[in-house]
Structure 1
Amino acid sequence: MDQPRVHPNAAPPGNGDLEMGHDGVYPPLPTQQGQPVSQQQRRGGPGPNSWVGNDANTLLVVATLITTLTYQLGTSIPGGYWQQDVPRSLQDSTVMYHAGDPIMRDLHRPRYWVFMGASWVGFASSMVMTLCLLVRMAVDSRHVRWSFVVAYSSLVLTFVVSQRRTHLSLDILIWVAVLAFLWIIVSLHPNRRSRVIQELCCSGRGRGDN
């Protein structure tokens, strides 16, 4: 007599708790071409290669890592801080730069404010993503997706802005490009996503051939 199939992660059969679903017996999983078909695929939803296929716990770890990185970036400004008061000149004893102030703020003020804005936006976005996942918000919600895209792209912006010999306008353009690319990755269906990326990568080559 055949024994019923028991799911490997199921609780041992006991009192048959129907409320929790711990009856311990599961029907055979349907297969497609010899491979098991997940419940999400049987419903016609996106597969594991899409954003929805990510586990909420994994995304929570990613959000925590981004929060830690953005916090460290915000407190470790490139160039460091003035170690002592710097006078205007040898003849003028008036303090020009005060000890403890960021050097980047005094010497490269526009770049400093972009750097600080990117670090704070990344920190806030990662915390929003963490909060959304903690309250069990759906992984495919716009709040989770946008907070991830903004937080992750902000890391790129803080990195490129911290480089000395780059143009600030070019750094912002790089950030916008990364932001758009990440949004395409996390929002589109895998088939449509690969089609869009192929069109973006091959459109310039097609014009060159003509």
Structure 2
Amino acid sequence: MANSAGMGGGQVYPPPHGQAAVNQQHPPNNWADNDANTLLVVATLITTLTYQLGSNVPGGYWQDTQLSADGKTELHRTGDPVMRDLHRPRYWVFMAASWMGFAGSMLMTLSLLVRMPVISRQVRWSFAVAYASLVLTFIVSQSGTHLSLDILVWAVVVAFLWLMTSVRPEHRARIVGCLCCAGDN
């Protein structure tokens, strides 16, 4: 146990077992409590990840050029994404999500670098866009599911992200409690 005089008038943190903290209030978990430097690291990681996703498409790239049976038409060309040729709608959703994630994380990075407040809508929404885009790229990279179901799952995640970044902390705790503990009364 170390004395942390800088953290509350010489009180010991955490309080010893059995001692009640008198008049000690913990601030609610609020978006503004996030450290800008931590969010900058998160934004940089998301930027790196979305860059990797965009340059390494699931399924890889064709290793050869294949011509049609008559030899006049190219079916695919060396270096073209396999996903684009075999799952075209899924590929375009994947690429759009990848670009949105990259743009959102870059916007968040630049916003934090110019010292925009963490609580600003620009920082919160660029985080939500970047994070939701990562979720969408992951979901659509799994080709064994139906694309419309993937997008529905993603929409639920976006709604949850909106709740977590936009609602007041006291309401947020109540919402999470209802979602996680609905059957525990």
Same fold (TM over 0.5): yes
Residue segments in structure 2 that go unaligned for 5+ positions in a row = 12-20
Structure 1 partner of 2:85:
106
1:93-147 Cα distance to aligned partner (Å, 9 max, x none): 1222111111111111100000000000000000000011011111111000000
TM-score by length of 2: 0.82
Structure 2 partner of 1:80:
60
1:146 aligns with 2:135: no
Structure 2 partner of 1:165:
144
User: Tell me, what secondary structure is at the counterpart of 2:75?
Assistant: strand
Aligned pairs for 1:1-210 within 5 A: 29=9, 33=22, 35=24, 47=27, 49-89=29-69, 92-94=70-72, 95-200=74-179
Residue 189 of structure 1 and its aligned partner are, at CA, apart by: 2.5
Residue segments in structure 1 that go unaligned for 5+ positions in a row = 1-6, 9-27, 42-46, 206-210
Distance in structure 2 (CA, Å) of the matches to 1:119 and 1:30:
49
Distance in structure 1 (CA, Å) of the matches to 2:75 and 2:55:
23
Verify the 8 A CA contact 2:28 2:170 in the aligned structure 1.
no
TM-score by length of 1: 0.73
Q: Percent identity?
A: 62
Residue 201 of structure 1 and its aligned partner are, at CA, apart by: 5.5
Structure 2 partner of 1:4:
none
Verify the 8 A CA contact 1:48 1:54 in the aligned structure 2.
no
RMSD: 2.4
Q: Determine which structure has greater relative contact order: mean sequence separation of CA pairs < 8 Å that are 6+ residues apart, divided by chain length.
A: 2
1:52-86 Cα distance to aligned partner (Å, 9 max, x none): 11100000000000000000000000111111111
